[in-house]
A and B are shown apart, each in its own frame.
Chain A
Amino acid sequence: MKVLVPVKRVVDYNVKVRVKSDQSGVDIANVKMSMNPFDEIAVEEATRLKEAGTATEVIAVSCGVAQCQETLRTAMAIGADRAALVQTDVELQPLAVAKLLKAVAEKEQVNLVILGKQAIDDDANQTGQMLAALLGWPQATFASKVVIEGEHAKVTREVDGGLETISVKLPAIITTDLRLNEPRYVTLPNIMKAKKKQLDTLTPEELGVDVTPRIKTLKVSEPPSRKAGIKVADVAGLVDKLKNEAKVI
């Protein structure tokens, strides 16, 4: 079974982003970029499937600017066998990415695609579901446990109020939640090995996909800031404030 793992290069989750002064977007020049944390979990899961003998090959794919190659090298250092970059400088939105991934999934004849449930920059939580729709495959989103059983994948999902387990027919799409696994640290020898692995570059034109954005960002602003609070000296002071000033209890 071939597994495709899409990965996204995003602003590192520890960075507190700033809005540009012209309100055209968020300033991401000169900030640390990393692999989207949910995608790391996806690469780890695919690698574990390979180690268990379930997957034969793991292909990492990323869409975006040339620097996404670094993200793909990281995926290969975790365990992906090879990688592909769909290179473009156009701003990519989830629908366009889903179309690109559909083309790659068909070209590579994969049976399973594992994606992160959302990217921590646009917080959209759409791409996996959209890809499933475009391919006409079933989807198992927000996965916290995956068991491949022959022609089906049994997936436990994190839903409001608890967990649910569904069975999806392969080929299928899985999106990862935080609890699915703990991604391994990449080691120096594996980083060196990853440099020798194959990385192909494609373009949206080659794949025949129109990536023109459908949603226009008119303005990006800082969220309203909360007015500075106060520190109270003790529990009695806190209760007094809650009762008499905030009137919430």
Chain B
Amino acid sequence: MTTLVIAEHDNQQLKPATLNAVAAAQKIGGDIHILVVGGGAQDVAAQAAKVAGVASVLLADAEHLKDFLAENVAEQVLAVAGDYSHIVFPATASGKNVAPRVAAKLDVAQISDITAVDSPDTFERPIYAGNAVAIVQSSDEKKVITVRVTAFDGVAAEGGTAEVKTLQAVADSGLSSFVGREVAKNDRPELTAATVVVSGGRGMGSAENFKLLEPLADKLGAALGASRAAVDAGFAPNDWQVGQTGKIVAPQLYVAIGISGAIQHLAGMKDSKVIVAINKDPEAPIFGVADYGLVADLFTAVPELEKAI
């Protein structure tokens, strides 16, 4: 039994999500290999080789793999899939994009977003926006899995001494091509990896007012997040969205400001260690999950809080 973990990276840095996926693979048991698919990603492979508990690193490096197009990446995974009992992806935008394509080609059902490993064929995963937890058993010979990264503590990034093996890259599918990328500028910690998250909702009122959260986030060393309502209203960029349809976070401290607490939002943050809610509506459902609630006008409470910390 050997598990293949597909690395999440940007051709320069191995992303922490990979370490969480390796942690899930450890719970499955057996040897763990990491596959790095990219273009100019030798450094990433070297970083992957140092990850604790990894037996081997496979590198497929080619110009047409640089932009992680699903058709090419899936073919590359399939090229080695025969050697593995489990193929594990972090449940990131890129993992979710590729994993089902791999599963379908292997004719196996995929198990999405697992939060626990009960045995090598039995896993736990949230359904209905996290309102229920299902324990599911796969009857397929190979398991293709995506891992909810916030549910597993990442393994150490250092300490391993795996060997890097270079694979022959698969041919370009020619089905798709990369056009461009618009990266949201952000000096803050990455939302899914941050230990503190400060999120704003519709109650912020405008994109201008959203800036009110910045001094508070700066002081706490926090990432900024937003509810779907705030994103839809144009107050915050899309990739800040926390929720069932956005990012899933589980920081030490989550501060929800002007957020009512719709089911879809709670699905993205209710596993945070401590939740603080600031809302002027005492009936807001967010108070049902908050450890500490403050019923107050955010426009006075937020600056006050920033000063008091």
A positions within 8 Å CB-CB of B = 11, 13-14, 16-17, 19, 26, 93-95, 98, 117-118, 120-134, 137-142, 144, 154, 157-169, 172, 177-179, 213-223, 226, 229-232, 234-239, 241-242, 246, 248-249
The interface bits of chain B over 235-270 (1 if a CB of A lies within 8 angstroms of the residue's CB, else 0) are: 001110000110100001100000000011000001
Chain B CB within 10 A, most for which of A95, A129, A236: A129
B42 to chain A, nearest CB (A): 22
The residue in chain B whose Cβ has the minimal distance to the Cβ of A118 is B245
A133 touches B74 (CB 8 A): yes
B40 to chain A, nearest CB (A): 18
A137–B105 Cα gap in the complex (Å)? 12
A229 touches B290 (CB 8 A): yes
In the complex, identify which listed stretch (B28-36, B54-62, B126-134) lies at the interface while the others stay far away: B126-134
The interface bits of chain B over 92-105 (1 if a CB of A lies within 8 angstroms of the residue's CB, else 0) are: 11101111111111
A163 touches B238 (CB 8 A): yes
The answer, yes or no, to whether B293 is at the interface (CB within 8 Å) is yes
The answer, yes or no, to whether B37 is at the interface (CB within 8 Å) is no
A126–B112 Cα gap in the complex (Å)? 8
In the complex, the 4 A-B pairs of residues with the closest C-beta atoms, listed nearest first: A129-B100, A138-B175, A130-B104, A214-B109
Chain A CB within 10 A, most for which of B129, B176, B237, B296: B176
A162-B127 CB under 8 A given contacts A126-B110, A218-B135, A242-B292: no
The residue in chain A whose Cβ has the minimal distance to the Cβ of B146 is A125
The residue in chain B whose Cβ has the minimal distance to the Cβ of A179 is B238
A16 touches B131 (CB 8 A): yes
The answer, yes or no, to whether B228 is at the interface (CB within 8 Å) is yes
Instruction: Give the dominant DSSP class at B's interface.
Output: mixed
A158-B136 CB under 8 A given contacts A141-B70, A168-B175, A178-B228: no
Instruction: Give the dominant DSSP class at A's interface.
Output: mixed
Within 8 A of A (CB), among B220-236: 220, 228, 231-232
A95–B309 Cα gap in the complex (Å)? 51
Interface size on B, residues (CB 8 A): 90
B275 to chain A, nearest CB (A): 7
A134–B264 Cα gap in the complex (Å)? 31
The interface bits of chain B over 30-72 (1 if a CB of A lies within 8 angstroms of the residue's CB, else 0) are: 0000000000000000000000000000000000000101110
A122 to chain B, nearest CB (A): 6
A35–B244 Cα gap in the complex (Å)? 17
A71–B274 Cα gap in the complex (Å)? 40
A-B contacts, 11 listed (Cβ < 8 Å): A93-B109, A117-B245, A121-B127, A129-B70, A133-B105, A215-B137, A217-B136, A220-B127, A220-B132, A232-B293, A246-B273
Name the B residues within 8 Å of A221 (CB-CB).
132-133, 135
The answer, yes or no, to whether B161 is at the interface (CB within 8 Å) is no
B271 to chain A, nearest CB (A): 9
Name the A residues within 8 Å of B107 (CB-CB).
95
